[in-house]
Amino acid sequence: MVIVLAGMHWLPTNDAIVMGAMAAFVGVPIRFVARPTRATTAIGAVLREVALVLGLYALWGIAGRLAVTQDIGAVQHGRWVWDLERALVLPNEHTLQAWALHSHAIVRVLNFYYAFAHVPSLLIFLVWLFFRHRDRYPRVRNVLALTTLSCLLIQLIPVAPPRLVPGLHMIDTGKLLGPTVYQSVGAGGPDQFSAMPSVHIAWAALFTIAVIRVSPSKWRWLMSLHLAMTFAGVTLTANHYWLDGIVSIILIGLMAGLESLASTAFAYAKARVRPVALAP
């Protein structure tokens, strides 16, 4: 089964696990082929990365299910996030949404961006980075994995999005104007109680930063528009709070630092290892 984005039928978690396991089963042994060719090496590398992406996708689905089954306190947690934003004097999502709703065309574009741009943009970025900047790929891949996993761990604490918190007067623009990725609460579909932090923002921010740092093109700064659109797409549709995105970006910085420390420690340990000469 594939991810049918146009119909909003996301790849089921069980299928992602099976496909990821199959890719790993084929891709990992190729590393140990006695006489690998350029083709087998490339195929093995691609399959290993496919296995990683599918594994992250499966973990995302599992974390979502756990949050759904433990949604007690989600609305209260959402109110806490909202109150903290007001204390920090962050822009009010309700005021900005009211402004956006003056144009239904703008809101439909934001709904579409929230629903359709998330996964395809990440896959396009990973393919581009893998084939055009292979030397930079491992570190970015590692930071992506660490950031996603840290987001999923935090999401085990359920937080209701603004559209599901009574009293905030936020409108579910996906349900109002379409398209929407969510069914009624309890009717299945994607998890709706994992607003904090935003994986949408985490992924968009990570590869926006990576493209700006890696690409020599003078057009690379246009990637910041994708991050801006993603921020607008997750907040003005009432699917996330500003803090959901801010926390995601902070996590990227922390995970980049962690990855750098781990890489340095690994390189140091590897340099300290000396082959042991066998006695004649």
- Radius of gyration over alpha carbons of the chain, in Å? 21
* 276 vs 167, higher pLDDT: 167
Would you say residue 134 has pLDDT above 80?
Answer: yes
Question: How far apart are alpha carbons 235 and 107 in whole angstroms?
Answer: 11
pLDDT-based confidence at 106, cuts 50/70/90? very high
8 in the Ramachandran plot: left (φ > 0), alpha (ψ -120 to 50) or beta? left
Give the pLDDT of residue 191: 66
CA-CA distance, 82 to 247, in Å (whole number)?
A: 14
My answer on whether omega of the bond before 29 falls inside 30° of 0, hence cis, is no
pLDDT at 126 over 60: yes
> What is the arithmetic mean of pLDDT over 107-136?
88
Could you tell me which residue, 87 or 195, shows the higher pLDDT?
87
Q: Which residues of 145-182 are buried (b: 16+ CB within 10 A; e: fewer)?
A: bbbbbbbbebbeebbbbbbbbeebebbbbbbbbeebbb
pLDDT computed for residue 253 by the predictor: 95
Higher pLDDT, 13 or 52: 52
Least reliable range by pLDDT among 54-63, 150-159, 229-238: 54-63
- The pTM of this model reads 0.80
Identify the CA nearest to 67 among candidates 215, 199, 260.
199
> Is the distance from CB of 164 to CB of 196 less than 8 angstroms?
no
Q: Average model confidence (pLDDT) for the chain?
A: 80
pLDDT at position 10 over 60: no
Residue 2: its pLDDT value, please? 32
